[in-house]
C-alpha cells in the first residue's frame, strides 16, 4: 500500500510551523515596542541572564534537542496520517498533535518576544499535556511507533517544566510586571558564564 503522505509533506509542514513561529514572535515584539528580530545569540544571552537552576541545560543543547524532537514528532505524525482514516484513536492523536505544534510555534513569542518566564512555563505545561495526551492516543491505537516518536519530546519537556517553574519563580517578569516570586537558595543556582557576570552585577 503506497503512502499518501511523504517526507516532503512533513518538511513543508515544518517550514510552515517556522513561518508561523517567526510571525507570532514579530507580533509579540511589536506589541511590547521592542525592535523587530533578535539573533539566536541574543536569545541565548537572555536565557543565560536569567537565574536558572543548576540542572538547566546549556543554550547549545536546545537546537540539538529540538532538532531530534521535531524530526521524531514529524515522522510519527506522518506515520499516523498514513494509517486508515477509521483507525481508532487516529483523529484524537492528530488533533492533539496539532495543538502541540501550535504551542511549539507560540513559545518564542510567549517567552523571548514578550520577555516572560511565566508565559514560557504556561506554554510548556500545556505543550506537555498535549504531548502526554498524544501518547495516550497512540496507546489507544496500539501503535508503538506513534508513541515512541514522542518519547524524546516528553523526556525533554519533563526537564523543561522543572527549569521553567524555577525561572518563573526566581526572575522578574517584565510582561506581567511581577516577580521575582521567590528568592532561591544560592546552592540551587546555575553559575552564569564569566562574560555575563558584569551585566548581572549591574542588575542587583
Distance CA 195, CA 178 (A): 27
CB 146 within 8 A of CB 132: no
The CA dihedral of 36, 42, 47, 48, to the nearest 10 degrees, is -160
Q: How many domains does the chain have?
A: 1
Cα dihedral sign for 138, 139, 140, 144? positive
Say what the pLDDT of residue 195 is. 43
- Reported pTM: 0.86
Residue 181 lies in a domain: no
Distance CA 128, CA 134 (A): 10
Helical H segments across the chain, by residue range: 7-31, 40-49, 61-81, 90-108, 117-141, 144-148, 151-170, 197-203
Place of cell 499535556: 129
Residue 84 lies in a domain: yes
Residue 180 lies in a domain: no
**Containing domain of residue 74, as a range?**
1-36+69-174
Q: Tell me, letter by letter, the H, E, C secondary structure of 112-164.
A: HHCCCHHHHHHHHHHHHHHHHHHHHHHHHHCCHHHHHCCHHHHHHHHHHHHHH
Residue 63 lies in a domain: no
CB 183 within 8 A of CB 165: no
Instruction: Please give the chain's pLDDT, 204 residues, in tens.
Output: 568 999 999 999 999 999 999 999 888 888 776 544 555 555 556 666 889 999 999 989 999 999 999 999 999 999 999 999 999 999 999 999 999 999 999 999 999 888 899 999 999 999 999 999 999 999 999 999 999 999 999 999 999 999 999 999 999 998 899 989 999 999 999 876 544 443 333 333
Say what the pLDDT of residue 22 is. 93
Q: Residue 173 phi/psi, 5° resolution?
A: -115, 100
Residue 29 lies in a domain: yes
Residue 57 lies in a domain: no
Say what the pLDDT of residue 201 is. 34
Cα dihedral sign for 165, 166, 168, 169? positive
Q: Tell me, letter by letter, the H, E, C secondary structure of 140-154.
A: HHCCHHHHHCCHHHH
Amino acid at each position: 500500500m503506497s503512502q499518501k503522505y511523504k517526507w516532503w509533506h512533513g518538511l513543508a509542514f515544518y517550514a510552515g510551523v517556522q513561518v508561523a513561529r517567526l510571525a507570532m514572535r514579530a507580533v509579540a515584539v511589536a506589541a511590547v515596542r521592542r525592535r523587530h528580530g533578535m539573533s539566536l545569540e541574543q536569545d541565548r544571552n537572555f536565557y543565560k541572564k536569567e537565574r536558572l537552576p543548576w540542572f538547566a541545560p546549556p543554550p547549545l543543547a536546545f537546537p540539538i534537542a529540538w532538532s531530534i524532537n521535531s524530526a521524531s514528532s514529524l515522522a510519527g505524525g506522518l506515520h499516523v496520517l498514513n494509517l486508515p482514516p477509521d483507525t481508532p484513536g487516529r483523529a484524537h492523536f492528530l488533533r492533539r498533535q496539532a495543538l502541540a505544534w501550535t504551542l511549539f510555534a507560540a513559545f518564542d513569542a510567549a517567552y523571548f518576544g514578550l520577555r516572560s518566564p511565566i508565559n514560557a512555563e504556561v506554554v510548556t505545561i500545556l505543550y506537555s499535556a498535549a504531548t502526554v495526551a498524544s501518547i495516550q492516543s497512540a496507546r489507544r491505537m496500539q501503535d508503538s511507533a506513534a508513541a515512541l516518536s514522542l518519547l524524546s519530546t516528553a523526556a525533554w519537556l519533563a526537564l523543561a517544566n522543572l527549569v521553567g517553574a524555577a525561572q518563573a519563580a526566581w526572575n522578574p517578569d517584565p510582561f506581567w510586571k511581577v516577580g521575582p516570586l521567590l528568592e532561591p537558595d544560592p546552592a540551587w543556582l546555575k553559575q552564569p558564564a564569566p562574560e555575563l557576570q558584569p551585566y548581572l552585577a549591574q542588575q542587583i
